[in-house]
C-alpha cells in the first residue's frame, strides 16, 4: 500500500518520494511518483502518560484503553506507556492485572510505567507522600508478576535502591530516576548500576546548584542517560528547555505526562488518588502544586519548533529518542523492515493521518 506522501523522515534526513507499507512493515521509501502532500514521520511514542479524555489508567479497562488510543492517534501517537503515580499498593495490582488482559489494535502499548511507590517523600510533587515506600524487592517481584511492568521511576538515595535498580535492569525493565533528593554522586552511582533516564527533568528533584548539581547536573553531562521533559510552556521555562535539550542532544525525549483532564474542559479530574484542577491549561492540586499536564505529543513537537529547534530535531525527540530509550529498534524509524507506524504531518506540523502496523487509525 502506498501512503501518498511526498516525502519521509528517515533517520535525520528528508527523503523525497512516497512510502510503501506491506504486512505491517515499512516496505520502501523514496518511491516514485511521489504523493501530492504530507511528510511521513515515525509514529510518536509517549513513555509517560497517566490518562486522557476522562480516563485515568489507575482504573482503566480494555474499552478505556481503546478509547484513549483513538484520541492519541489524532495527535500522532502510535505507541504509549501508561503510567501510574504513587498509589496505595493494592491499586497497582488492579491496574496491572487489567492491563495484562488488555489487547488493542489502534495503538501499541509498551507496558506499564510505575512512577512510584519507591520515591522520596520530600520530593513527592503531586504524589501523596503517605503512599511512598522504601525499595522492597519482594513487593517489586509481585508487581512484575502482576502485569507488564516495563519502566519504573525510583529515588536512588533510598535504602536498597541501588540493588533494586540492578534487579529491575536484569528483568529488562527500564529504570528512571525521579522524585528524588539525590545528590550527583548518588545519581551517578545509580546510572552506573543501570538506571537509564531522568523523569521530567528539573521537576520534583533536587534543584541544580553550581556546587551541588544534583540529579539533573549528573544526567546532563553523561552520554548514556536520557532526559525526559514536559515541554508545555507550564512546567519549564524556555531557557530550561533549551538548556536540557542542547546538553542532552539526541538523548532528549519529549513526554506529555498527560492526565485524565487532557482533551477535556476546565474542571476537576483524577490523577490516581489525587484530585486535580485544570484551569487555563495548567493542572494543579488544590495547594497549587503542578500535577501532570494536558499536553499532546504533536503540540510538544510544535512547541519545540516554536522555541527555535529544527523541526527534524523536534520530531526525533518524539520518535527515535524514546524508541532508543526503551530499546525498541523496531519503532521510531521509517527504515524498510521497521514497524509501519507512521504519522503524516502537513506544512504546519499538524497531524493529518496516523497509521499503526500498516492500518489507518486516524485521518482528517
CB-CB neighbours of 139 under 10 Å = 16
Strand (E) or helix (H) holding 47: strand 44-49
Give the three cell numbers for residue 192: 552506573
SS3 assignment, position 342: strand
What local confidence, expressed as pLDDT, does residue 95 receive? 98
Predicted confidence band of residue 182 (pLDDT cuts 50, 70, 90): very high
Q: What is the pLDDT of residue 44?
A: 98
pLDDT tens by residue, 253-275: 999 999 999 999 999 999 999 99
Distance CA(121)–CA(63), nearest Å, equals 34
Residues in the chain: 364
**pLDDT band (50, 70, 90) for residue 39:** very high
Q: Which domains does the chain have, with CATH numbers?
A: 1-42+332-364 (2.30.40.10), 44-328 (3.20.20.140)
Q: What is the mean pLDDT of residues 29-38?
A: 95
Please state whether the predicted TM-score (pTM) of the whole model is above 0.85: yes
Kindly tell me the number of DSSP H helices and DSSP E strands found in the chain: 10, 22
pLDDT tens-digit series, residues 314-345: 999 999 999 999 999 999 999 999 999 999 99
18, 257, 298, 341: which is the annotated catalytic residue? 257
| pLDDT for position 135 | 98
The runs of H, that is alpha helices, within 172-223 are 184-193, 214-220
341 classed as catalytic: no
What is the four-CA torsion angle of 325, 329, 331, 332, rounded to 10 degrees? 60
What number is the average pLDDT over the span 24-31?
A: 97
The model's confidence at residue 243, banded by pLDDT at 50, 70 and 90, is very high
Residues 126 and 50: beta-carbon distance below 8 Å = no
**What integer pLDDT is reported at residue 88 of this predicted model?**
97
| Alpha helices (H) along the chain | 62-73, 89-100, 137-146, 161-170, 184-193, 214-220, 238-248, 297-306, 311-316, 320-325
Confidence class of residue 93 from pLDDT cuts 50, 70 and 90?
very high
pLDDT at 1: 93
CA distance linking residue 354 with residue 41, whole number of Å = 10
CB 338 within 8 A of CB 4: no
Mean pLDDT value of segment 164-184 = 98
pLDDT tens readout for residues 52-89: 999 999 999 999 999 999 999 999 999 999 999 999 99
What pLDDT does 132 receive? 98
**Residue 276 — very low, low, confident or very high, per pLDDT cuts 50/70/90?**
very high
- pLDDT band, residue 5 (cuts 50/70/90): very high
pLDDT-based confidence at residue 183 (cuts at 50, 70, 90): very high
What are the backbone angles phi and psi of residue 190, rounded to the nearest 5°? -70, -40
Amino acid at each position: 500500500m502506498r501512503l501518498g506522501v511526498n516525502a519521509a523522515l528517515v533517520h535525520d534526513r528528508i527523503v523525497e518520494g512516497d512510502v510503501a507499507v506491506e504486512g505491517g512493515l515499512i516496505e520502501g521509501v523514496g518511491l516514485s511518483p511521489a504523493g501530492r502532500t504530507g511528510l511521513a514521520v515515525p509514529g510518536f511514542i509517549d513513555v509517560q502518560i497517566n490518562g486522557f479524555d476522562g480516563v485515568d489508567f489507575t482504573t482503566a479497562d480494555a474499552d478505556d484503553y481503546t478509547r484513549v488510543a483513538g484520541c492519541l492517534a489524532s495527535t500522532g501517537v502510535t505507541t504509549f506507556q501508561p503510567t501510574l503515580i504513587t498509589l496505595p499498593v493494592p491499586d497497582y495490582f488492579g491496574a496491572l492485572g487489567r492491563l495484562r488482559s488488555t489487547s488493542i489494535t489502534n495503538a501499541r502499548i509498551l507496558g506499564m510505567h510505575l512512577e512510584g511507590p519507591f520515591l522520596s517523600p520530600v520530593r513527592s510533587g503531586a504524589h501523596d507522600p503517605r503512599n511512598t515506600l522504601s525499595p522492597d524487592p519482594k513487593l517489586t517481584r509481585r508487581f512484575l508478576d502482576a502485569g507488564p511492568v516495563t519502566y519504573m521511576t525510583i529515588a536512588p538515595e533510598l535504602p536498597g535502591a541501588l540493588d533494586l535498580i540492578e534487579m529491575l535492569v536484569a528483568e529488562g525493565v527500564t529504570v528512571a530516576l525521579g522524585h528524588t533528593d539525590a545528590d550527583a554522586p548518588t545519581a551517578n552511582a545509580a546510572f552506573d548500576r543501570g538506571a537509564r533516564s531522568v523523569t521530567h527533568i528539573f521537576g520534583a528533584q533536587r534543584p541544580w546548584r553550581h556546587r551541588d548539581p544534583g540529579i539533573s547536573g549528573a544526567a546532563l553531562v553523561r552520554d548514556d542517560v536520557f532526559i525526559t521533559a514536559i515541554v508545555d510552556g507550564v512546567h519549564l521555562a524556555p531557557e530550561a528547555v533549551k538548556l536540557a535539550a542542547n546538553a542532552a542532544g539526541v538523548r532528549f525525549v519529549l513526554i506529555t505526562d498527560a492526565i485524565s483532564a487532557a482533551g477535556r474542559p476546565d474542571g476537576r479530574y483524577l490523577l490516581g488518588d489525587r484530585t486535580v484542577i485544570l484551569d487555563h491549561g495548567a493542572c494543579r492540586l488544590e495547594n497549587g502544586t503542578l500535577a501532570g499536564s494536558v499536553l499532546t505529543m504533536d503540540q510538544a513537537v510544535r512547541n519545540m519548533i516554536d522555541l527555535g529547534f529544527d523541526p527534524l530535531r523536534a520530531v526525533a525527540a518524539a520518535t527515535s529518542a524514546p524508541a532508543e530509550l526503551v530499546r525498541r529498534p523496531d519503532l521510531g524509524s521509517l527504515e524498510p523492515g521497521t514497524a509501519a507506524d507512521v504519522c503524516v504531518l502537513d506544512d504546519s506540523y499538524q497531524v493529518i493521518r496516523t497509521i499503526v502496523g500498516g492500518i489507518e487509525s486516524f485521518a482528517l
